[in-house]
A and B are shown apart, each in its own frame.
Chain A
Amino acid sequence: MNKPCADKSCFAHKGESCALGETDLAKCDSWCATITDDKSEEISITATTFRVPWSGSALGLADMANLSPRGRTILIGVLGAHDAGKTTLLTGNYLQLLQGKLLANAGFAGSRTLGAWEALAAWTRFDDAARPALFPPHTPRGTSRVPGLLHLALRNTKGEFRDILLADAPGEWFTRWAIKEDAPEAEGARWVVRNADAFLVFADCNRLATSNPERGKARNELRQILERLGNHVGDRPTTMVWAKDDIEPNADIRSSIQQTLTRQIPHALEVSSSTNRPATLTKAMETALCPAWSPVPATYLVEPVLHHQPFSAFRGSHAYA
């Protein structure tokens, strides 16, 4: 096994390309800095082969550095309690793209995380009678400070190219964050909320249904997330997704959640989604994606009129801007 490169953002030892672009690793200073005096240690990655700077798995922070210079990236924060259907919605969107469908009026233009997408999609496929198809498994709560990011590149009919990053974070992070904002295990949740361009907040209709004994707890968790998010969201687009809406949530619970939503995040939109109707999964994603597609334009500087004489026109905004 190779030692990692001295450069922390380089993953050459994992088979990706050198972060400094050296094709022959023996010529790379960072790589050589890791080589110990022990001559017996053989480095298998020596030949001048050309590699790519992504592995196909979910992206981390170092990988974003490769993507962000090439165009506008849109980070969608996916928030919700454990098992609310966050990963299923993401997988559903990938499966729709696999069918050649458009997302937010844009066509698929590549992905750096096809391995991760395929691993999620593999759960839903009936390829083997011994392994029945299932919904994607629970996203594990890791110690990582940043969630694994799933990537999609899209190009719309006008030729605009966007890198979409989807933060598929474990639900426990947000539940914890809602209770204690600076909890150490909520670092990932804080990162998502700080950096996301748009939010999808999940309400799990199944857990909010009248027949579910946990509905009160579920409502509490969701309202806490909404109340916490309200402090941070600003005017970023936010969409409330009523997931698994083939089950009707309790009417009182629903209206109390809607009240919280209107008070905390007045500009939030609401959509319903269900895996029974795959189109609703893309619709939910589009509700968050479309408003974030173009950056908010800068507002014009307005020069205040101090005296109605051209000579006294206020030029302060130019002088001190």
Chain B
Amino acid sequence: MHTPEILLLGGPDSGKTHFAGQLYGRLKRNPGLLELRDTPADLSALEEVLHCLENGHAAEHTSAGTWTDVLLPLRDKHGNELDLRWPDYGGEQLLTIFTERQVTEAWRSELRLADGWLLLIRLKKETTYPDALTELANRSSDSNGTTARAGNWDGNARWVELLQILLHVAGLSTVAHLKQPRLAVLLSCYDELAVDNQLPSQVLAKNLPLVSAFIDSIWKPSAISIWGLSALGCLLEKNSDNENFINQGPEHQGWVVNPDGHKDADLSRPLAWLLGVE
């Protein structure tokens, strides 16, 4: 049996854990394109988040050093069986790759084996600077200060540099269009954004134009898809007790927005696309 590998890439606070918890609930109790054949042997990685969601509040932050995975025995609607290892880790690890510019052996082998990359970007958390060049021209500008400025990188540049590092370490050349690994970009916490009838790809292009241009230049169009994701459907706090979650169950909350702009309750759709299940 083919055991596809998915690499989940998301910084701290991008919603990886909630997505994993909600995905499990969907696969098990409210299946769509994909469903679980059996209950996974080891659920300890998801224990905490599942417990929190059943009680209608947000899960704790995954600690930085964590790397666990859950083996999900899946079946698609044609009856094909596949095993998916779903990783969960502290998002700081991704930050460390960016700041230290080095990738550990464990990460490298994941990068090389992965059939698909799942990129979780929370647009609300990205720092971008609006183009200031025109405003700047209107100011008096004769004095060039000498103090060095340390300012943070633009979110665009940060993501591009991170992707470049990952691509290089994975041994992938960017000169020709990439077909493998497939790339699914999930714009997480989509409910936070004011999107008026825009496709997720347009939302990405508007908020992170450089990242969008980079992805379009590097991957073949058929190997990219961009989704909106709201794993919970609304904002949960650590101390909230959302009635809908408690009464209806978390498996009925949350949605994705398909690349064509339609809202869908089946959270496994981006995964199914990555695995080539249609």
Contacts and interface: CB of A to CB of B under 8 A. Distances in A.
A51 B102 contact: yes
B75 interface: no
B101 A52 contact: yes
A268 interface: no
A137 B142 CA distance: 10
B169 A121 contact: no
B70 interface: no
Interface in A40-86: 47-53, 55-56, 70-71
Interface string B144-183: 1111011111101100110011001100011111000000
Interface in B108-122: 108
Contact of B210 (A51, A70, A108, A136): A108
Interface in A69-128: 70-71, 91-92, 95-101, 107-111, 114-115, 117-119, 121-128
A127 B144 contact: no
Contacts of A109: 174, 213-214, 217-218
A118 B101 contact: no
A134 interface: yes
Contacts of A127: 129, 151-152
B174 A153 contact: yes
Contact of A125 (B108, B132, B164, B165): B132
The size bracket of the interface on A is 35 or more
Nearest to B128: A98
Given A52-B169, A98-B209, A100-B205, A275 B136 contact: yes
Contacts of B104: 47, 49-50
A137 B137 contact: no
Contacts of B214: 108-110
Contacts of A216: none
Contacts of B137: 246, 274-276
A70 B136 CA distance: 38
B149 A98 contact: no
A294 to B, nearest CB: 16
B108 A50 contact: yes
Contacts of B212: 100
A95 B210 contact: no
Interface in B167-216: 168-169, 173-177, 205, 209-210, 212-214, 216
A61 B260 CA distance: 46
Nearest to B214: A108
A101 B104 CA distance: 35
B133 A98 contact: no
Contacts of B248: none
B151 A122 contact: yes
A242 to B, nearest CB: 15
Contact of B149 (A49, A91, A131): A131
Closest 7 CB pairs of A and B: A100-B209, A109-B217, A275-B137, A49-B102, A122-B151, A108-B213, A155-B217
Interface of B: 100-105, 108, 129, 131-139, 141, 143-147, 149-154, 156-157, 160-161, 164-165, 168-169, 173-177, 205, 209-210, 212-214, 216-218
5 contacts: A50-B104, A111-B160, A114-B157, A121-B129, A276-B138
